[in-house]
Amino acid sequence: MEKPELELLFEKQLRQHNGAEIKLLDSTGAEVATLAKKDPVDGHNIQLTIDRDVQDSLYGQLKKDAGTAVAIDPRNGDILGLVSAPSYNPNDFVLGISSSEYQKLSNDQQHPLRNRFTAASTPGSTFKPLTAAIALTHKAMNPDAKVAINGNKWQASSSWGDYYVTRVNHDANVNLETALFKSDNIYFAQAALKIGGSAFASDANKFGFGESLPIEFPMRKSTISNDGKLNDQGLLANTGYGQGQVSVTPLHLSLIYSALVNDGSMIKPRLVKTNDAPTFWKKNVMSADTAKLLNKDLIQVVANPSGTAHDAQINGLTLAGKTGTPEFKQKQGESGRENGWFTAYNTDDPKLLVTMVVENTQKKAAVTM
């Protein structure tokens, strides 16, 4: 679809209203009196929170790929960047684009007319901190306890048939920290089953799943499953590590991660610059202790040499984050399409939180699940 213009979204605020006068004239055309007058009203100025340098930097990272990126200030909710790539020159549409040029854009296999940052899709392992937060809330997980997991595939029972949850870089004994920085699917699948489908789905709603984001720009709703329920055991297990039917927008995922730097509360996003104090969209979605613990463990995703995002480490800057590689295929064991997700933020002065999605990473050195 063609991307909506910001001018259209803020039409009521930006548009000026014309004035008018009704005057009484004599037979010579001279003005005798003013019968009615309405003064013109200027439109309101609007300053967006978008930071041009951040926007340009994000697009520069994606310009060779198809994907999307969102940047926010997690302390106040300011949206600093919203990028969909590849893009097109909107000036081409101002005076009318030729049919051949429009067809070229429409038929481009990378879909430059698609607005990717408004779409919800499978987040893969970037979803695991949310599973951990819900499990810790329900005491379905002891973060320090070593969970014995043998091998690289697991199923809850023989009723799963030929289906298994699989993992890579496995350890025989796994705690929460290791499961996060090595991204252990089996650990989080088991955690989801301990939480239970009803509790998991209910708590996901507390994070805003099934709701519209509180922002002027239209975004798809994130969903925990197609029907909002997690009654099937296999679906519940897959949801625990961000597969199954779960879908989330990059902005919504960023807001979930903002709870890790706001003592457990999700910041309310802002697209229009304001002097108003920041507010929270969802308060106390997790305890302050849980937020602190997850923040500490997610630092190891980048800092630990075995962490899936260790390549993103920057000397002198402490980053926390999570990678994800959702897979799209018809049957387990087959090769298929993959996307690479990465959410990261600086922890010492958390003023920038970025979520980036690169499509079709199976063609590249894919981000590790």
Residues 6+ apart with CB under 8 A from 51: 71, 80, 81
- For all residues of the chain together, what is the average pLDDT? 88
The beta strands (E) that lie in the chain are given as: 20-25, 31-38, 67-72, 79-85, 147-148, 153-154, 165-166, 173-174, 266-267, 280-282, 319-324, 327-328, 337-338, 340-346, 353-358
Over 80: is that where the pLDDT of 100 sits?
A: no
* pTM of the model as a whole: 0.86
Backbone angles phi, psi at 355, to 5 degrees: -120, 125
Mean pLDDT for the stretch of residues 256-265 = 98
The residue ranking higher by pLDDT, 170 or 240, is 240
**CATH level 2 (architecture), domain 120-363:** 3-Layer(aba) Sandwich (3.40)
325 touches 366 (CB < 8 A): yes
Q: Which sequence positions are flagged as catalytic? A: 125
Q: How far is CA 75 from the centre of its chain?
A: 16
For the record, the structure tokens of 18 come out as 């014309």
List pLDDT tens digits, range 175-214.
999 999 999 999 999 999 999 999 999 999 999 999 999 9
pLDDT band at 93 (very low <50, low <70, confident <90, very high): low
Among 44-53, 82-91, 340-349, 356-365, top mean pLDDT goes to: 340-349
Largest CA distance in the chain: 102
pLDDT band at 218 (very low <50, low <70, confident <90, very high): confident
Domain ranges of the chain: 120-363
